[in-house]
Amino acid sequence: MTNARGGVRLFDPRLDGEPEPGSAQRERDLQPIKALLTNFEKQYDEYESSFRSIVDDIFNPLHINDFDFLALALLDSPNIRKMATHAPASHANTLNAVLDQNGVPHSTRDNTSNTIDFMRLRLQSRDSSPSLGIRRPMSFQGHSTFAKIDRLVTMALKSPHGRRKLCELGDQLYESLVACQEMDPTLVLTLLNNVMIGLERDGLNMSTKLCDLGVWTSLKCNAIITAQVYIERKLENEAHSDEFIHGILTKIKDISMASSSLASHQIQLDVSSRLRAIYSLLTGYTPGEDKPTFSLRPLLNPKTTQELYLYVQCLARLGAFRTIWHEFHRKDSASHGTGLAILTDTRIKENSVFAGAIMHALAENPAIASLARSLDFGVATGETRQDCQLDIIAISRSADTLILPSTRVQESTLSPTYTVNREIVHEILKDKSIEKALPALQEFLMSKTSFS
């Protein structure tokens, strides 16, 4: 710019502005590309989130589909038998875990023919009629067959709106399922698992009635880990009752610990894995976990002895005598994270609740006494977690003995000797040294031929 004399004035950034850098044109040329990249990254994040959500659903250990059975059927029979009875390979172990948590019986894994028959059963349970659809408003009333209920649930799970309606109609779905006759429990468990996965995907809660059905169906199928999931979900939304805990402990003792009366639901992967899962559910001790996991222990009513009696019975049926001793001598229940006062009640201890539960378990399955023949029976550390680990190892080694069918025992049929033996066990438990108590219990068990 020239001045009044016709010369050129000096550059003034306040008047002339900053000069454009040499890279400005290149930046303008790249702006459309950068906008595309930003949009691409945004879409990528959205699709990745959606993909992960779908994958989490599909590969959820509670989810099962036809491809799982197809993978099982495509294995030749020798491999299936090996997978079902021996330590499996990693892929087979994953498949077995899925089948176990859906209550799929061991018999379907014996050979390809049984697997195909089970696949056909699943297919026959589905209603393929084109006339059935989600009605407006959606309702389970009028659907009297499991096939129609299953199809309606499957269709509803495909959309957010359908999942919200399932959440709202949880009690109605429960009533419809209960009204169905002669349902295969594994099919019901698969349906319930899919409902829970679908609802939790959207942050929705399963109705307490459906959770309740999930608990009992899981226990009926010996799917202990799945039962634990449903128990936790139920307790998140509803306070537990004494009847609920009593029922669970009774089912565990009478069904899950003994050879099942249902021939088609005898054993899933192996006996020891089921018994270890039961022990973890009872005590909250899970190998590999630094902190206690969910357990039934804090749910026992501190004002009664009924649940405690069943609880100790279950531990005795597992041969977990170290754990029982620690329960008996627990002085500060709050330090265990339970907040219970039940084990500090001297009256309960002096009334031989623990000893009575042990003797009852021995009367139901006298073979438990044979565990005392092991040289490791009297080994203990005095430290709770380490002794729990020793009990876990003992359970794995003695699973075939622990799982033997039990005999119903009535108090009225017990002999006077039973009462004497109960007092002996009570005195053994009272010993404050576990290193002395266990050898004494070992000697007692080996000296008896009958416990009833």
Whether the CB-CB separation of 99 and 64 falls below 8 Å is answered with: yes
* pLDDT of 413: 66
* pLDDT of 273: 85
The model's pTM is 0.73
* pLDDT of 341: 42
Task: Report the alpha-carbon distance of residue 385 to residue 391 in Å, rounded.
Answer: 10
Q: Is the pLDDT of residue 175 over 60?
A: yes
Using alpha carbons, list the distances in angstroms from residue 365 to 69, 270, 279, 451: 36, 20, 18, 9
Token reading at 420: 């004497």
Q: How many residues does the chain have?
A: 452
**Residue range 13-25: average pLDDT?**
76
* pLDDT of 9: 76
| Every domain of the chain and the residues it spans | 298-452
Tens of pLDDT, residue by residue over 56-83, are: 666 666 667 666 666 666 654 454 445 4
* pLDDT of 262: 45
* pLDDT of 274: 87
Q: Is the pLDDT of residue 142 over 80?
A: no
Task: Report the alpha-carbon distance of residue 77 to residue 86 in Å, rounded.
Answer: 14
Token reading at 70: 């197809």
* pLDDT of 393: 94
| Helix runs in 252-320, H state only | 271-283, 306-317
Q: How confident is the model at residue 210 (pLDDT cuts 50, 70, 90)?
A: very high
Q: Is the pLDDT of residue 299 over 60?
A: yes
Question: What is the chain's mean pLDDT, rounded?
Answer: 79
Tens of pLDDT, residue by residue over 268-294, are: 556 888 899 999 999 999 888 888 899
* pLDDT of 412: 59
**DSSP per-residue codes, 396-444:** HHTHHHHTSPP----GGG--HHHHHHHHHHHHHHH-S-HHHHHHHHHHH
**DSSP per-residue codes, 36-81:** HHHHHHHHHHHHHHHHHHHHHHHT-TT---HHHHHHHHHS-HHHHH
* pLDDT of 128: 54
* pLDDT of 132: 45
**Residue range 285-304: average pLDDT?**
87
For residue 353, the surrounding DSSP H or E stretch is: helix 353-364
Q: What burial class does residue 233 get, using C-beta atoms within 10 Å of its C-beta: 0-12 exposed, 13-18 middle, 19+ buried?
A: buried
Token reading at 213: 């059905």
137: preceding bond cis by omega (within 30 degrees)? yes
**Residue range 216-226: average pLDDT?**
90
Q: Is the pLDDT of residue 88 over 50?
A: no
For residue 117, the surrounding DSSP H or E stretch is: helix 112-124
